[in-house]
Amino acid sequence: MRFEHWVSTIALRLRSLFHRGRLGADLDEEVRNHLDNQIADNMSRGMGMEEARLSALRSFGNPLLVRENSRATWSWNYIEQFVHDVRIGLRTLSRSPGFAIVAILMMGIGIGANAAIFTVIRSVLFEPLPYREPDRLVSLFEHQTRPVDAGYSNYLPVAGGNFSEWKKATKDEAQMAIISTWHQYNVSAEGGKLPEKVDAAWCSGNFFSVLGIAPALGRLFIDDDDRPGAAATVLMSDSFWRRRYNSDPGIVGKTVWLDARPFTVIGVLPSSFLYEGKYGGGTDQLWTTANHEAPADFMTSFGERGFVAVARLMPGETLSRLIDRLSAVQHQIKVEHPNPSVSDDVQGRTILEDTVQDYKTPIYILLAATGCVLLIVCLNVAGLMVARNAARSKEHAIRAALGGGLFRLLRERLTESLLVCVAGAGVGLFLAWGALQWLVSVRQDMNRVESIHMDVTVVIFAVFAVGVCALISGTVSAFGSKQRYILASLKESSRAHGGGRTRASLRRALLAVQIGLSVVLLVGAGLLVKSYQRLRSADIGMPIDNVLTMRINLPGARYKKPEDWAAFFEQLIARVRAMPGVEAAGLVSTAPGEGWGGSRMMSVVEHPPLLKGQGFDLLSRGAEPRYFAAAAIPLLSGRSFATAERLERAHVAVLSRSAAQAMFPGEDPIGKHLDDSQGRVYEVIGIVGDTRWYVTEPVHPMVYMPIYGNGYSSATIVVRSSQAVETLAMPIEKFVSQMDADLPVSDVMTIRQATAKSTVDNQFDSLVVLAFAFIGLILASTGLYGVLAYLVTQRTGEIGIRIALGAQRDQVLGMILVDGLRPAFIGLLIGLAVSASTTHLVKKMLYATKPLDPEVFVVVAGMLMASAALACFVPAWRASRLDPMQALRTE
């Protein structure tokens, strides 16, 4: 029955939805007909014209009310009322376009910023990776329970030997694969194309099948490709295939030359493919098989950590169970091989977490910042609406007195704030789109940045934000109106002295909250900016101006013996030194700031032997005799390498200052010997200043040995010049191509550019949070100004009387200033307290800056009070200049 009823009335409902105008006209005609009939009937009973009309009206009742009541029975009535409210809202907003524009723009900024951050969070942190059943995929790492390897965190790469044991032990729990993401190949000049150096990864034969990828062209690796004697095969990325091979559909089966060795292209990966973990991989363009590429002892070593393991859990298996299982295996390996470089534990996390872990904190910090801004915006709009409502209090009181329902008035206000929020969301989505375009273009270094896109969910988010904002600003402002005291406000408006006290106190509370929020934002931004400045001025151990670096990697196929490497490098550096404009030049295996670059366990021969497996973990560098002079790294004692100390005579070492202090406390290291526990002994000949291996990381002890003869086939050229050092890049690259046309030069940049590049995320985070903090401060200050200006207008009469009775102008000034600064001060105190208890959340993002940095807190407090004073001063000054006659006349 219910359903049948519903079906049979739907036509009626639709009619009353779409033909409201006609229905209204019908109703009017119906009422008119009735009255006409009644009049005619009355006249036929002998009444006069006028009498008949009055009598008809009397028996009919109020036609207007009848019409209203009839309409109220129609369906969709609430929609009609809503449309009506919207129309009223639009009219009131268009009557004060200034308010409307300011409020909409503010909402736009607030909602836009939040929509943008929401989009980033969704696309970067939550969107599943483009693999089959990505939630079953985990990344596995080694872990040292004793912090021996201070350079990297708990998530250490995995050694090949350990991985084989893991794989054997967990056959039933997971499918396991490995990848080593940080390799490079020189792709030879071919068919007129330039040689280039390309990032590449070595992976196990099952790597792609474990991820669950299908190739775009050709096939993926199979286990048979992944053995030392297999044919050389390579997979390439979609972008590399498009760029270098013009999307050649016949690429599969062709030969490419990598490091002067022929490889057969077996396939192209889909454009959606991306693997990017803690140890990178996002820039890789080529993939080769690990067992084919890596030396056999590297694949079986338990201590040389060269890979990241990826595992697909079998159904029913969990990550923690797998890690427990693997930890037991690794513990057993440690017992059998008690070498310090062998890990004793295993760590793991989901592959998505592994990809985005480093961005989580900054993104959530940004979310907190935009959330604060949105809240400030809501409170500000609420403040503006309270002010407008105060101006309209008489109107509201009259309407209430005439029977306007409390609910109706509240609904109107909510509709008004809803309109502002909807318009703001429109503006905001547009702003968010622009902001995201900008973000994607400036943060190419961020994992998954290319996956950022706006979609329906973002719009849904915006709608949700609109609802919340409208509710906050609408109800907060409705709180301020005093419907219950109709009489009081009618009386009050005739005599404005001290009027609106309660309402103003609400606005003061709103202000205090706003100011508190902007203080929190400012403190956060201040800490990040300070940390970034510290970072930029961080001493990497050498001057960063006028120093150019470029990397050269000699392919093993053409340069087979250490003699070849030494000959090439010596010839090259001699040519570079002879160039006009070059002040000094040197070679080093890894320049300061360029990265970890390899470490060795060393012990001191002259000291009592340490327990088996103990020693000093030193970063190892190969350096050319004049490198220290070229990089201006101070020689603290002893000497640098001699030209003759090369190849088999290269067993000498220079220690960095921290290494010398750690290994030889209170002794002179010169002349002592270091043992690398692999049968090589080095004589210490000098001590140089410390350099950093990465800008944001602390100094790590370092040992230098001659670059000619200690197994270095790649090197960074460091060139110093007194004039524009960038102009030297081209001529040097020309030398290199004259010596070997297939040899690309990579990473050409000044040290300043290199440090800027490695601090780009800190710069970005600090600037964006700072921008939001300033928006918050400006909003709060204008809010403060608005409230005070309103209060002054309200109190014009009172102030006029005060001045007329002899109050000094500076007394008036002080009175108003104090009135305005009090909420600012309370807000400041709240803000400082909240900041003090929350800044530890950004601790991870700070470099050499404490979360409770007093300088930042003082500066923020000062800045806030200054802008508050400025915002208060204008209305206060205006009040103190009031002409009493004028003021009293405005009554």
Partner 1 sequence: MSKPSDLVQGTLDLLILKILALEPLHGWALSQRLKQVSGDVLQVSDGSLYPALHKLEEQGWIRSEWKPTENNRRAKFYSLTRLGVRYLEREAANWERISAAISGVLRLTEV
Question: Which stretches of the chain bind partner 1, using CB under 8 A?
Answer: 4-5, 8-9, 12-13, 16, 26-27, 29-31, 33-34, 37-38, 41, 59-63, 65-67, 69-75
Give Dmax (Cα) for the chain: 139
**Amino acid sitting at position 327:** S
- 81 or 475: whose CB is closer to partner 1? 81
Q: Which long-range contacts (CB under 8 A, 24 or more apart) does 26-29 make?
A: 27/67, 27/70, 27/71, 28/67
- 30 or 395: whose CB is closer to partner 1? 30
Q: For the CB of residue 56, give the shortest distance to partner 1 in the complex, in Å.
A: 8
The Cα 887–Cα 812 span in angstroms is: 14
Contacts of residue 498, defined as CB under 8 A and 6 or more positions apart, other chains included, come to 795, 798
The Cα 429–Cα 427 span in angstroms is: 6
Q: For the CB of residue 68, give the shortest distance to partner 1 in the complex, in Å.
A: 9
- 12 or 741: whose CB is closer to partner 1? 12
Q: For the CB of residue 85, give the shortest distance to partner 1 in the complex, in Å.
A: 22
The Cα 565–Cα 576 span in angstroms is: 16
Between 760-794 and 809-838, two packed helices, what is the crossing angle to 10 degrees? 150
Q: Is 799 helix (H, G, I), strand (E, B) or coil?
A: helix
Listed residue (274, 283, 285, 276) closest to 356, CA to CA: 276
- 34 or 360: whose CB is closer to partner 1? 34
How many Cβ atoms from other residues are within 10 Å of residue 724's Cβ? 11
Q: How many CA atoms lie less than 13 Å away from 7 in the CB half-sphere? A: 4
Q: For the CB of residue 81, give the shortest distance to partner 1 in the complex, in Å.
A: 16
Name 347's bridge partners: 141
The Cα 739–Cα 747 span in angstroms is: 19
- 13 or 809: whose CB is closer to partner 1? 13
- 7 or 611: whose CB is closer to partner 1? 7
The Cα 809–Cα 504 span in angstroms is: 23
Check: CB of residue 122 under 8 Å from CB of residue 458: yes
The Cα 374–Cα 382 span in angstroms is: 12
Q: Is 163 helix (H, G, I), strand (E, B) or coil?
A: helix
Q: For the CB of residue 15, give the shortest distance to partner 1 in the complex, in Å.
A: 10
Is the Cα dihedral 701, 707, 711, 715 positive or negative?
positive
Q: For the CB of residue 398, give the shortest distance to partner 1 in the complex, in Å.
A: 23
Q: For the CB of residue 29, give the shortest distance to partner 1 in the complex, in Å.
A: 8
- 59 or 808: whose CB is closer to partner 1? 59
Check: CB of residue 419 under 8 Å from CB of residue 471: no
Q: For the CB of residue 109, give the shortest distance to partner 1 in the complex, in Å.
A: 46
- 10 or 610: whose CB is closer to partner 1? 10
Q: For the CB of residue 13, give the shortest distance to partner 1 in the complex, in Å.
A: 8
N- to C-terminal Cα separation, the chain: 67
Q: Is 8 helix (H, G, I), strand (E, B) or coil?
A: helix
The Cα 178–Cα 289 span in angstroms is: 10
Q: For the CB of residue 83, give the shortest distance to partner 1 in the complex, in Å.
A: 19
- 55 or 164: whose CB is closer to partner 1? 55
- 73 or 678: whose CB is closer to partner 1? 73
Q: For the CB of residue 402, give the shortest distance to partner 1 in the complex, in Å.
A: 17
C-alpha Rg value of the chain to the nearest Å: 38
The Cα 882–Cα 794 span in angstroms is: 13
Q: For the CB of residue 408, give the shortest distance to partner 1 in the complex, in Å.
A: 16
- 58 or 561: whose CB is closer to partner 1? 58
The Cα 761–Cα 665 span in angstroms is: 38
- 64 or 805: whose CB is closer to partner 1? 64
- 63 or 595: whose CB is closer to partner 1? 63
Q: For the CB of residue 23, give the shortest distance to partner 1 in the complex, in Å.
A: 9
Name 717's bridge partners: 550, 587
The Cα 163–Cα 291 span in angstroms is: 13
Between 351-391 and 456-480, two packed helices, what is the crossing angle to 10 degrees? 30
Q: For the CB of residue 61, give the shortest distance to partner 1 in the complex, in Å.
A: 3
Q: What kind and span of H or E run contains 617?
A: strand 616-623
- 62 or 437: whose CB is closer to partner 1? 62
Question: Tokens 């005799």 identify what position?
Answer: 625
- 11 or 805: whose CB is closer to partner 1? 11
Rounded to the nearest angstrom, the gap between the alpha carbon of residue 6 and the centroid of all alpha carbons in its chain is 52
